[in-house]
Amino acid sequence: MALVTDHSSDEGSRATLWAAVETICGAAPVMIDARHFMDGGTGRARLEQGALTLDVPGEHLPVAPSFVLLYEIPPNRRRAIAGFQRRLDDLGGGSIGTDVEAWRDATDKRRTVECFRRDGIGQMATIALCRPDAGTAQSAFEQLGKDVWTRPRVGMAGDHIFHVSSPDQLGAALVHYESLGLDWLMSEDADNFDQDGNRHDYRIIVLHGRPLVATERVQSDPDRPCNEATGGAHHVIDLADLPADFVQLAVAATASTGLAFGAVDLALERRAVFEVNVHPALYPPWCLESVAIPLVEAHLDVAARSIDAIAPGPRVRTYLPGGTSTLRAGITDPSTARS
């Protein structure tokens, strides 16, 4: 198995995914820096004797993985890896969640808003702003009730997000985005406070239309988002403790963007979705069993179906202590399966 991530990222999800692969397969994945396969990189994906092969000159490759897990690609680098995503799909890379258009619809928040409007997904009233002048920004601010949140069109980890409730704050946000050359969006405040007066929202992670896990994120500062990176605290909650329609809203929001896997941030009070995350941070230890292992298993299932299409017949897929999950039709000795 090849775990392809951007090694310049310090988010840490690849360590959790590494552990998930070892837990399921009994063998470590081949770690490959995704930057080799971005625009201008020397990495190549090709077929060799009918098998997908990843080749990076000078990196002790090629390797012929049974499946590829592409993850931890920062939002600002996703356009650069679109060619590799398409190549994986063309060659049958045993991967899921690599649809280029789905990534763009979730990464570009303006496109996300448009998807939600098209599909009737609950969201806060939002106005997209493309390098607006002060008058345009002020008009949007007034239209949305003078209590809003601003965010960049493409961002991550709660960076460059502001709660704006005064003309001075609006002016500061305008200058900030201008200085960075960013397009941005302005959304009505969700008034998402818990009984203790803290900001809070929920994150529900969805895989193939099935909710895997939910967390509540709490922020004591009413002017900061609930992301963990901005000081929010989070804890896992039972999906059964949330209203069924609220959980289904997360499933519908993921489907609206076209993602097979995603993490949906939403407010219970207004039944409003904020965003769908392509690659949510997978924090150990709770993410290992609840998210990373199901995600790896889903990739194994795709690889198994691909193998069945090539070589139909009985297939053994037994997880042995310290052993490898066999994927090829007719293989019974784990030591002969490709990692």
Over the stretch 99-128, which tens digit does the pLDDT of each residue have?
A: 999 999 999 999 999 999 999 999 999 999
Tell me: pLDDT of 255 over 90. Answer: yes
Q: How far is CA 112 from CA 143, 220, 277, 309, in A?
A: 21, 28, 11, 35
Tell me: pLDDT of 329 over 70. Answer: no
β-partners of residue 53 are 46
Nearest Cα to Cα of residue 206 among 127, 319, 79, 291? 291
Model confidence pLDDT, tens digit, residues 23-42: 999 999 999 999 999 999 99
Q: Coil, helix or strand for 45?
A: strand
Q: Coil, helix or strand for 329?
A: strand
Report the pLDDT value the prediction gives residue 38, as an integer from 0 to 100.
97
Model confidence at 306, in pLDDT bands (50, 70, 90)? low
Tell me: pLDDT of 313 over 80. Answer: no
Contacts of 135 by beta carbon, 8 Å cutoff, 6+ apart: none
Report the pLDDT value the prediction gives residue 322, as an integer from 0 to 100.
32
E strand spans, the chain: 2-5, 30-33, 44-48, 51-55, 68-70, 126-129, 148-152, 162-164, 184-188, 199-207, 210-219, 233-237, 261-267, 272-277
Domain boundaries in the chain? 2-101+285-336, 125-188, 192-277
CATH 3.30.1490.20 fits 125-188, yes or no: yes
Q: 12-26, 58-72, 176-190, 259-273 — which is least confidently predicted?
A: 58-72
Nearest Cα to Cα of residue 50 among 316, 328, 315, 295? 328
Distance CA(33)–CA(277), nearest Å, equals: 21
Mean pLDDT for the chain overall: 87
Whole-model pTM? Answer: 0.88
Report the pLDDT value the prediction gives residue 324, as an integer from 0 to 100.
34
For domain 192-277, the CATH architecture is 2-Layer Sandwich (3.30)
